């Protein structure tokens, strides 16, 4: 054994080079196989400030959907910060916002905002690690740093609430991101009071646009922020498209220009299984708030709307029908076949009112 160990040590340099070569071959062949199987394309990576992705897809979500026989809905993303950033054909779909480096993305939960943010960050990472990317075309100007603020988490051991962690991460982005960075921000300001959160999100968007000048995707439920597109020349409004059908919301998972006019939160809550009285009460409160405007006091809701206990009270049971009384009175084990057949006819007559 000692002789074998000594022989291995003597060839350590050669063995290390062989291991490194095999590792590189393994990575390259695996990425090539993945690209062939999942229709990935070779991205164009250069020193520009381009970020133009045509029909981009989330590689993990797409693979998960494929296992259940579903197809992923691809979307374009154009965040190029200079005139040289437009990839050939990047706007051919005709439904992407004008070329801007900062997109403000609105739309309901479950519609795909977070997936869209993450897929473009993953495409940037894959492009710069030498992999083909899940898209029809991609032109990525080299990204020096990728900043991400998504999801909800706390750090209770250090005394940090969910909102505090969100603010710490947002601060790191606003203090460090530059024009060559790629930033994805999801729902900034939602962990505090409405006006506080809106004000923070508003100021963060302006800072990203004017100071950081990064290529960025900013997802939000604060529809008030969409007016900034009139003021900030490099900001575009984009929205997740949805359709309403018989009171329910249908998610199309498509990104298009414009702004969402509502968040469809109650419809999503209904899909999640909230009790019907809660949904009904929420709809009534929402209607009153929208009708009352900003000056509406919450106390007024108590006066003007029925108490929740009243709306939640179950309806009085309906009177027992003749068929129900007949069924309760009989014992199936005591019926002969002929009596059972006669019972069926008698019940049918009761239903008809005979």
Q: List the CATH number of the domain containing 168.
A: 3.40.50.300
Rounded-to-integer distance, Cα 167 and Cα 191, Å: 10
pTM: predicted TM-score of the whole model, two decimal places: 0.74
**Are residues 220 and 332 both part of a single domain?**
no
Q: Does residue 29 share a domain with residue 43?
A: no
The dihedrals phi and psi of 59, each to the nearest 5 degrees, come to -60, -35
Q: Who's near 323: CB < 8 A, 6+ residues apart?
A: 347, 350, 351
Residues 80 and 138 occupy one common structural domain = yes
**Do residue 132 and residue 250 come from a single domain?**
yes
User: What stretches of 14-93 adopt beta strand conformation (E)?
Assistant: 44-46, 51-56, 75-78
- Ranges of residues in the chain with a pLDDT under 50 are 83-96, 307-308, 310-312
Look at residue 175 in the predicted model and tell me its pLDDT: 96
Written as one string, the DSSP assignment of 136-157 is: SEEEEEPPS-EEEE-S---BGG
Residue 91, classed as helix, strand or coil, is coil
Q: Are residues 192 and 332 in the same domain?
A: no
Domain count along the chain: 4
Q: Domain check: are 142 and 257 in the same one?
A: yes
3-class DSSP assignment, residue 339? helix
Q: For residue range 60-92, what is the model confidence (pLDDT) as tens digits?
A: 999 999 999 999 999 999 998 764 444 433 443
121 and 48 housed in the same domain: yes
Residue-level pLDDT at 126: 97
Closest CA to 59 of 83, 93, 34: 34
Whether 271 is covered by a domain: the verdict is: no
b (16+ CB within 10 A) / e for 231-256: ebebbbbbbbbbeeeeeebebebbbb
Q: Based on the fold, state whether residues 182 and 76 are members of the same structural domain.
A: yes
Are 33 and 43 part of one and the same domain? no
Q: Yes or no: say if 78 and 72 are a contact pair by the CB < 8 Å rule.
A: no
Count of alpha carbons within 13 Å of 187, Cβ hemisphere only?
Answer: 16
Is residue 230 domain-shared with residue 338, that is, in the same domain? no
Query: Structural domain of residue 3, as residue ranges?
Result: 1-37
Q: Are residues 25 and 74 in the same domain?
A: no
Contact indicator for 28, 129 with CB cutoff of 8 Å? no
Q: Quick check: is 47 in a domain? A: yes
Which of 184, 41, 23, 29 is CA-nearest to residue 126?
41
Q: Is residue 187 part of a domain?
A: yes
- Nearest by Cα to 114 from 237, 219, 266, 236: 219
Q: What is the pLDDT of residue 162?
A: 83
């Amino acid at each position: 054994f000692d002789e074998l160990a000594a022989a291995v040590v003597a060839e350590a340099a050669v063995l290390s080079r062989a291991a490194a070569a095999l590792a590189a071959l393994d990575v390259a062949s695996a990425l090539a196989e993945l690209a062939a199987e999942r229709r990935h394309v070779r991205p164009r990576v250069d020193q520009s400030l381009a970020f133009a992705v045509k029909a981009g897809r989330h590689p993990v979500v797409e693979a998960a959907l494929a296992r259940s026989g579903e197809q992923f809905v691809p979307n374009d993303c154009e965040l190029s910060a200079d005139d040289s950033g437009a990839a050939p054909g990047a706007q051919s779909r005709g439904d992407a916002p004008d070329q801007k480096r900062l997109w403000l993305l609105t739309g309901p939960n479950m519609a795909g905002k977070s997936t869209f943010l993450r897929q473009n960050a993953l495409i940037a990472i894959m492009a710069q690690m030498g992999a083909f990317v899940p898209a029809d075309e991609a032109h990525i100007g080299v990204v020096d740093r990728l900043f991400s603020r998504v999801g909800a988490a706390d750090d209770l051991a250090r005394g940090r609430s969910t909102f505090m962690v969100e603010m710490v991460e947002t601060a790191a982005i606003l203090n460090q991101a530059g024009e060559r960075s790629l930033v994805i921000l999801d729902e900034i300001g939602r962990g505090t009071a409405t006006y506080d959160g809106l004000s923070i999100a508003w100021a963060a968007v302006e800072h990203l646009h004017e100071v950081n000048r990064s290529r960025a995707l900013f997802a939000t439920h604060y529809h008030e922020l969409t007016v900034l597109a009139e003021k900030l020349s490099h900001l575009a409004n984009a929205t997740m498209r949805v359709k309403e059908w018989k009171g329910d919301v249908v998610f199309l998972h498509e990104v298009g220009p414009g702004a969402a006019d509502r968040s469809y939160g109650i419809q999503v809550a209904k899909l999640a299984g909230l009790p019907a009285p809660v949904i009904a009460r929420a709809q009534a409160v929402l209607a009153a708030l929208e009708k009352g405007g900003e000056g509406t006091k919450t106390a007024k809701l108590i006066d003007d709307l029925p108490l929740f206990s009243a709306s939640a009270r179950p309806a009085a049971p309906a009177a027992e029908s003749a068929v129900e009384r007949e069924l309760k009175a009989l014992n199936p084990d005591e019926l002969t076949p002929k009596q059972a057949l006669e019972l069926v006819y008698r019940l049918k007559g009761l239903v008809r009112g005979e």
